Amino acid sequence: MITEEKIAVGTVKVSPMGIGTLNWPLNKETDSDAEASLRACVDAGINFVDTAEAYGFGTSEKLTRNVVGAVNGQCVVATKFAPVPWRRDSEDLVAACKASKERLGVEAIDLYQIHWPDIIQPLKPFGFEEVKNEKYWDGIARCYEQGLIKNVGVSNYGVKILEQAHAALSARGVPIASNQINYSLLYRKSGSQATVDKCKELGIQPIGYFPLANGLLAGRYTAGKPPKGPKGWTMKKYIEGGVTSRGVAYPAGGVTPLIDEMRRIGDARGKTVPQVAINYVICKGVIPIPGARDAKMAADNAGALGWRLSAAEVVALEAAADGLGFEFSGGGFKLE
């Protein structure tokens, strides 16, 4: 099924889900599997691609440019500015924006996002803190006013700082189009749902990364079939359970009860477990951006489009998730 549904993100219109580029190589400027995954997305009507200068130190932006060009898709491309400590004023953001624009090969960036609040303060333990959020807001406003970008976005902004950014930019007549946060059926608390609600109140479109909770909600992992490599150890408590870590109890079976409920609903609809997970995020008014290493994974993710879970199914899924007694942040930022 090819989706024709589109959602306004500022001045651009995007599909109800997109594709994130973290699953693409971070050290290559061309890649056949990345091309195949985007082609599968475009074939399904998906037109939204999200990357960042921090992915591969700009290499991901070059790969995104080349993949979009090879697929010949009319894609909306978003990227992000990294507010690292040595970027100390608004001009640093403007310069970074121009560099991203060049790597992407565009006249103006469709959606330019501040990747996270200015929380990296290496000298804070020594009593020195230099928070530069307002300077970054000034810089991204200048990019918007100069036509370097079509829309302003933020990322990993919680309720408090989102309100502050909204007030500061609105005073200059610069709208915030989006806020990208960690959001999934397995990560709605710790400020995530409250942030989604605040986005809707302010007219900001929420975008959700990790909609599959780093693969936990794909239904592929079991105690007998864990992820390969170090990921298998870090995910063990979520998959197998039966342990208490940092004050959180992970019951025996881990995430299994939630996967079982997702599978029950998916089987009744002829949908896969990951399709249910992604569709849940769509139903909550958030644009999910799952990654995809190849065409097969991308096509399966795209099966989340063209239908909606019922209100009763959403309630059942949330009850199963809450019943676990734990969530999974996947290393996403704590919302401030």
Write down the residue that tokens 């079509």 correspond to: 150
Element (H, E) at 181: strand 176-182
d(CA 302, CA 7): 16
d(CA 219, CA 183): 17
Residues 6+ apart with CB under 8 A from 280: 184, 185, 309, 314, 317
Write down the residue that tokens 């990747």 correspond to: 115
Catalytic site includes residue 187: no
d(CA 309, CA 320): 15
Report CA-CA distances (Å) from 27 to 10, 39, 61, 251: 31, 21, 11, 39
Torsion of CA 81, 85, 90, 95, to 10 degrees: -50
What pairs with residue 109 in β-bridges? 149
Angle between helix axes 273-283 and 311-323 (nearest 10 degrees) is 110
Active site residues: 55
